[in-house]
Amino acid sequence: QVVTEMISRDRNHPSVLMWSLANEPESGDPEAKGYFSALANFTRLLAAGRPITYVISATYDSDQ
């Protein structure tokens, strides 16, 4: 719901270059990969053509 509202509200704003889906979430959790993959795919359906990103917090030895 939050992503849908964000895109609906800001899709035509001239300063929006891409959609950011998260900022340093707990991405080391095994379920996180599936969650963020589904979230990214959903966002692509709503906002085709605009890049998406999210920032992760991981050390070099735990980065996947």
Token reading at 32 = 């996180």
In-domain check, residue 23: yes
Of 5, 24, 26, 31, which one is the catalytic site residue? 24
End-to-end, the C-alpha distance of the chain in Å comes to 28
Those residues with Cβ within 8 angstroms of residue 15's Cβ, 6 or more apart along the chain or in another chain? none
> pLDDT digits over 6-58, tens only?
999 999 899 999 999 888 887 777 888 899 899 999 999 998 889 999 887 77
Residue predicted with more confidence, 1 or 29: 1
The DSSP 8-state label assigned to residue 8 in this structure reads H
In-domain check, residue 31: yes
Q: The whole model's pTM is what?
A: 0.74
> pLDDT digits over 48-64, tens only?
889 999 887 777 676 66
Q: Is residue 24 annotated as a catalytic residue, yes or no? A: yes
In-domain check, residue 62: no
Count of domains forming the chain: 1
In-domain check, residue 25: yes
47: containing domain: 2-55
